[in-house]
C-alpha cells in the first residue's frame, strides 16, 4: 500500500465516527497536519529514513485510529453542529422576513405612517381609521380637552405576562354620543417571538361591568338600530408589526350606571384580567 493510501485509511478510521460532517472534515484536516509535522520531525532527526518509513512510524506514534475515533466521537456531539447551522439559517430567515415587512406593508411600515402597520407602537395609540364618529384615534384617546362628548380618557398602563408575551391595556376613553355611552379600550400584545403573532381571540374575551351586565362581542353583539352594525366588538386591525399586535375593544351600549368594566380573557379559566374604572373627567 502506498504511503498516501495508508495515511488516508488511517484518517478515515480516526474520523469516521464523528457524525457531523463539518466537524469531521475539520478534525481530519487537523490530524493530517499533525501527521505531516511528525513525518517532517522524524526525517529531520533520522535522515536515513525513507518517506514510507517516516510515514509508517508517524502513524504508529499517533496511535490506534479506532480508539482515537471513539474519543473524537464523544467530544464532537452532532447536535451542537446542527444547532449552529440552524441558528445561522434562522438568522438569515429572520433578516429576510423583517426586510420583507417593508415591502409587504408598504413604504411607510417602518415609520408608523401606514394606518394599519408599523414597526413599533411607540405612542400606545391604535393605528386605525378612527372610531364611529369619524374622529381620529388621537382625538378619541388624547383630545385637547375641548370635546364635550368625551367624558374620560386614561392611560391605565396595565400589563400581564402570558406565556412569554406581554398583554397590556394601554388606553381607555369614554364618550357620549346621542345619549349613548361608548367605551374604547386599546390593548396590545408584545413579543419578540414574532412567529406567534400575538393573537387575541374575540370569543375568549368576557366583558362584564359593576352592574352585572355582560357585553357579547362580534356576532353575538346587539346591533345599532340605525346602521345595523354591531355595537360591541374587538377590532384586530388596530395596528400590527413584527413584534406587536394591537386590538381595540369597543362597547357601544355601555350601562350609564356602571362604575367599572372588567375584561376577563380565557377559553374556560381566566388567563388574564383588566378592570377599567369609569370616572368622568379622568385623564
Q: How far is CA 63 from CA 58, 60, 68, 197, 225, in A?
A: 9, 6, 7, 56, 91
| Rounded mean pLDDT for each run of 10 residues along the chain, 283 residues in total | 76 78 81 86 84 83 81 67 72 71 48 58 69 53 69 90 90 86 92 77 94 93 85 86 87 93 93 89 44
For helices 51-62 and 21-45, what crossing angle results, to 10°? 120
**pLDDT given for residue 111 in this prediction:** 45
| Nearby residues of 24 by Cβ (< 8 Å), 6 or more positions away | 15, 16, 18, 76
Measure the CA angle with vertex 256, ends 250 and 261; round to 5°. 50
- Percentages (nearest 5) of helix, strand, coil residues in the chain: 35, 25, 40
From CA 38, how far away is CA 40, in angstroms rounded? 5
For helices 65-75 and 3-15, what crossing angle results, to 10°? 40
User: Residue 72, class by beta-carbon neighbours within 10 Å (0-12 exposed, 13-18 middle, 19+ buried)?
Assistant: buried
* The CATH number fitting domain 137-277, selected from 1.10.357, 3.30.310, 2.60.40, 1.10.3470: 2.60.40
**pLDDT given for residue 138 in this prediction:** 53
Phi then psi for residue 120, to 5 deg, are -155, 150
**pLDDT given for residue 2 in this prediction:** 62
**pLDDT given for residue 115 in this prediction:** 55
Phi then psi for residue 104, to 5 deg, are -75, -35
Query: What SS3 class is residue 173?
Result: strand
Evaluate whether 153 touches 182 at the Cβ level (below 8 Å).
no
The helix (H) or strand (E) run that includes residue 265 is strand 260-265
Torsion over CA of 12, 15, 18 and 19, rounded to 10 degrees?
Answer: -20
From CA 51, how far away is CA 57, in angstroms rounded? 10
From CA 72, how far away is CA 23, in angstroms rounded? 10
**pLDDT given for residue 84 in this prediction:** 66
Helical H segments across 76-134, by residue range = 78-105
From CA 18, how far away is CA 69, in angstroms rounded? 7
From CA 263, how far away is CA 186, in angstroms rounded? 12
| Nearby residues of 48 by Cβ (< 8 Å), 6 or more positions away | none
**pLDDT given for residue 132 in this prediction:** 44
Q: Where in the chain is the domain with CATH 2.60.40?
A: 137-277
pTM over 0.85: no
What the block records as the C-alpha cell of 224 is 345599532
Amino acid at each position: 500500500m502506498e504511503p498516501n493510501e495508508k495515511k488516508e485509511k488511517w484518517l478515515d478510521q480516526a474520523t469516521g465516527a464523528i457524525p457531523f460532517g463539518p466537524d469531521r472534515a475539520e478534525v481530519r484536516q487537523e490530524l493530517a497536519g499533525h501527521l505531516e509535522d511528525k513525518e517532517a520531525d522524524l526525517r529531520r532527526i533520522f535522515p536515513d529514513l525513507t518517506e514510507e518509513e517516516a510515514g509508517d512510524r508517524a502513524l504508529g506514534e499517533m496511535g490506534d485510529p479506532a480508539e482515537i475515533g471513539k474519543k473524537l466521537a464523544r467530544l464532537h456531539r452532532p447536535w451542537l453542529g446542527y444547532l449552529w447551522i440552524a441558528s445561522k439559517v434562522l438568522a438569515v430567515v429572520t433578516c429576510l422576513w423583517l426586510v420583507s415587512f417593508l415591502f409587504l406593508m408598504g413604504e411607510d411600515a417602518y415609520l408608523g405612517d401606514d394606518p394599519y402597520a408599523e414597526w413599533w407602537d411607540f405612542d400606545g395609540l391604535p393605528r386605525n381609521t378612527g372610531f364611529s364618529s369619524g374622529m381620529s384615534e388621537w382625538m378619541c384617546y388624547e383630545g385637547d380637552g375641548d370635546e364635550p362628548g368625551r367624558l374620560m380618557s386614561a392611560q391605565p398602563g396595565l400589563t400581564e405576562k402570558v406565556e412569554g408575551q406581554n398583554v397590556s391595556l394601554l388606553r381607555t376613553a369614554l364618550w357620549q354620543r346621542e345619549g349613548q355611552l361608548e367605551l374604547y379600550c386599546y390593548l396590545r400584545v408584545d413579543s419578540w417571538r414574532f412567529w406567534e403573532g400575538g393573537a387575541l381571540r374575540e370569543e375568549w374575551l368576557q366583558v362584564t361591568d359593576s352592574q352585572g351586565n355582560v357585553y357579547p362581542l362580534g356576532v353575538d353583539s346587539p346591533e345599532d338600530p340605525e346602521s345595523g352594525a354591531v355595537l360591541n366588538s374587538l377590532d384586530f386591525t388596530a395596528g400590527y408589526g413584527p413584534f406587536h399586535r394591537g386590538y381595540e375593544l369597543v362597547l357601544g351600549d355601555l350601562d350609564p350606571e356602571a362604575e367599572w368594566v372588567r375584561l376577563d380573557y380565557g377559553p374556560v379559566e381566566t388567563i388574564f384580567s383588566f378592570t377599567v374604572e369609569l370616572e368622568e373627567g379622568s385623564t
